[in-house]
Amino acid sequence: MDDAQLKARIRSLGLRLGFDAIGFAGIELGSAETGLAAWLAAGHHGEMDYMARHGSARTRPAELVPGTLSVITARINYLAGGVDAALGELAQPRQAYVSVYARGRDYHKVLRARLKALALAVGAEIGSFGYRVFTDSAPVMEVALAEQSGLGWRGKHTLLISREAGSFFFLGEIYTDLPLVPDAPVAEHCGSCFACSSACPTGAITGPYKLDARRCISYLTIELKGAIPVELRPLIGNRIYGCDDCQLICPWNKFAQAAAVPDFVEVRNALDRANLLQLFAWSEDEFNERMQGSAIGRIGYRKWLSNIAVALGNLLHAAPSSADRQDFAAIVVALKARIGDGNDLVGESALWALGRLRAADASEIDA
């Protein structure tokens, strides 16, 4: 097979394995390297020290995997329930909001298995070749590679956007020693739109294509190991794991494609309609059992409870209606039970939440 035939065959195999798009990138990422260096120098990565490790291997594929000549990129949709449904969840203060990508099975496992299957399928047709698969699990510039391979363009919120599929999708890569000709990048179509930066609750999108992770709710509820800064807690709302606001508001997500893979379609633990108080009542054993095979499990039980405590503290400020006062007494009791000495991650967050609820309505909370 010549290059065009081989690429067409790889695409066909990828689609058969459940990927929604396949592209081909080169290994020159000079502009991405410059941007990453500036982002790290500004400290916008916060406590994500792994972003600064590995030196230039992150932006030079052949240094990470010697012999790499090209990169096969893959895209797979994960949206379940739809954009309007997710927006509705954010409007329910008593309901926990979990980022849509984390409601099903851990995407790392799903994509890695399918990428390996794709590499094996290619090898079965052309013979042995060198490869290594990645999906958000190594120093790989996923968006830059996907952009270079024509799978979409980098939006102003820094995520990849596709005209045909919006942005609710996962990315994966196969570093290979096959000398595949890169696909042509697509033009960007954000234009004069700034909906994503306007919608960001914490102002983490500081300018077009600029993200200060230290203010991003996804970082604060997932990557940050310690307590969420007090000044940002009121802005968290009911988001307990991740945030989708910049995607939900993006006009291109009118074209977002629904997930077809059962692992993403099937929402675990009813996380698309879970009550904050019910989740706060989970024991550590229950958390570990329920979160097996979920990306959420990696933050640990204490961080989970701390995030929920912050959301409970925001309850009355978000929408102080009579409906939102259901279970209010039980919420106060639950927060007090988690305070302990008030010095650990959960206790401090619970103490803050009680203080915030008291500020909303002191008559309902005793000292």
Looking at residue 93, its amino acid is P
Query: Per the structure block, which two tokens stand in for 152?
Result: 């979409």
Calculate ∠ Cα 74-76-79, nearest 5°: 155
Backbone angles phi, psi at 251, to 5 degrees: -55, -30
b/e 280-306 (16+ beta carbons within 10 angstroms → b): bebeeeebeebbeebbbbebbbbbbbb
Distance CA 286, CA 305 (A): 12
Contacts of 298 (CB under 8 A, 6+ apart): none
Element (H, E) at 329: helix 328-339
3-state secondary structure of 159: coil
String of DSSP letters for 182-205: PPPPPPP--TT--HHHHH-TT--E
Determine which one of 49, 136, 285, 366 is catalytic.
136
Number of C-beta neighbours around residue 269 at 10 A: 16
- For residue 158, give the DSSP letter: S
**HSE (side-chain half, CA atoms, 13 Å) at 119:** 23
Is 177 designated active site?
no
Catalytic residue numbers?
136
